[in-house]
Structure 1
Amino acid sequence: MQPERVALLLAAGFSRRYGSDKRLAGSPPLILRTLATLLPNHDRVLVVLRREDEVLRRLLADSGAALTQVPIDGGLGDSLAHGVRTLLSQDGPIHSLLVVLADMPHLSPASLQALQVAQDGCSLVRPVYLGEQGHPVSFPADLLAELARLSGDRGAKQVLDRHIDRLICLTLNDPGCVQDIDWPDDPL
């Protein structure tokens, strides 16, 4: 079986700064727009939702992505680790994992393809736009066990810092890799 290029869409946050569930903001909803760019560019997509997130579970049921719900509502590290552990418990080898934040609907398909091309199976690949490091970040399979041990509010920064010698900063002409939706006046 060929190792898969997998995307992990982290969507278990509470949108506290936004003031309402930003994953459902806009038309189509923000989460569907982010997911639509991932599905054609990956062999498999797993979406991490909150523990009691039935509205999103129903919305995404027929999306083509697999879904998992965190056992406890924790921080970003908890969500990321849960998603990675879910992937590791499934059959099939993984080539690389793209960790994507659900509130980044402006990522271009071309940028996702460029991240895939740059991922050699050994490197961490992070997009850069006008000198600013962005998201999503691609991790090789050998770092998944480290990601599976994360917890709390911190994401994968500590894993990136530990393996900085393996980091490829990929310059992209895509402001979408540094634009997330945090506030109601952020452009959807």
Structure 2
Amino acid sequence: MIHICTVILAAGQSQRFNGIKQLAKVNSTGKCLLQYCLEAYADMPDISLVLGANAEQIRQQCNISLPVIKNSNWQHGLSTSIVEGVNNLPEKCTHMLIGLADHISVSATHIQQLCDAAKQYPAHIIVSQYEGIEGVPAIFPRQFFKGLLALSGDNGAKKIIDQYPQQIRSVALQQGWLDIDTQTDLQNWLSSQKETRT
């Protein structure tokens, strides 16, 4: 029996975005990017959020009710958020699902498909795959936690994925990979939503 714990990474300063990316409004109801992305993980039983830059402002304006892990070392790169996430996992955790708070195209259906694959292949890393690229959201069994803890700088979970190609199972990300990294990305997303409604 596996127990998947989810850690969503949202600690960065978003320098390329020229603003607090997590608070960007991404639909007509005024929902912020972080809230929107978290909806894909809403059915996960154990989920926590790593915040760093602008943490208190994000918590207040996004009305975050999840357990929050504070990353005081966020300036030193993405790896520090992963390390904080691993260090705060409960003992019952057998697998860690890592997600990013700006992957706006990830759906609840895709997250469930990842979990189903982890149950079928509990000793494998379960990754999202799109156009030949493999990455997060991804689920890591406990035997890979040590490697995640050894990450440094801006190295993310992709480094571990690339190290173990024989122990990977991939799940197609049907919607494609869409990150909101810049104001242009945001405007393109908003335009696509208008086209969908019309």
Interval containing the TM-score (normalised by the shorter chain): 0.7 to 0.9
Distance 1:171 1:139 in 2: 17
Distance 1:110 1:53 in 2: 29
**Is 1:36 aligned with 2:39?**
yes
Distance 1:160 1:5 in 2: 18
- Match in the other structure for 2:193: none
Structure 2 unaligned regions, length at least 5: 191-198
**Is 1:179 aligned with 2:178?**
yes
2:52 corresponds, among 50, 53, 56, to 50
- Match in the other structure for 1:104: 103
Aligned pairs for 1:1-188 (under 5 A) are 3-26=2-25, 27-40=30-43, 42-50=44-52, 53-59=55-61, 62-63=64-65, 65-73=66-74, 74-87=76-89, 90=90, 92-119=91-118, 120-175=121-176, 178-186=177-185, 187-188=189-190
Distance 1:9 1:62 in 2: 12
Q: 1:109 to 1:139 in 2, by over 3 A?
A: same
* 1:60 Cα deviation from its structure 2 partner: 5.7
Q: Which amino acid aligns with 1:96?
A: H
Q: Secondary structure at the match of 2:155?
A: coil
Distance 1:17 1:165 in 2: 35
CA contact 2:10–2:101 (8 Å) conserved in 1: yes
Structure 1 unaligned regions, length at least 5: none
Q: 1:121 to 1:59 in 2, by over 3 A?
A: farther
Distance 1:62 1:18 in 2: 21
Distance 1:43 1:183 in 2: 32
* 1:30 Cα deviation from its structure 2 partner: 0.4
For normalisation by structure 1, the TM-score amounts to: 0.86
* 1:29 Cα deviation from its structure 2 partner: 0.5
Q: Which amino acid aligns with 2:170?
A: C
As a proportion of its length, which structure holds more helix? 2
Distance 2:170 2:54 in 1: 37
* 1:61 Cα deviation from its structure 2 partner: 6.0
| Greater radius of gyration (CA) | 2
Q: Which amino acid aligns with 1:162?
A: Q
Identity among equivalent pairs (%): 28
Give the count of matched residue pairs: 180
Q: Secondary structure at the match of 1:58?
A: helix
CA contact 2:127–2:171 (8 Å) conserved in 1: yes
Q: Which amino acid aligns with 1:38?
A: Y
RMSD, aligned CA:
1.9
Q: Secondary structure at the match of 1:136?
A: strand
Distance 1:124 1:3 in 2: 13
Distance 2:167 2:36 in 1: 31
* 1:129 Cα deviation from its structure 2 partner: 2.4
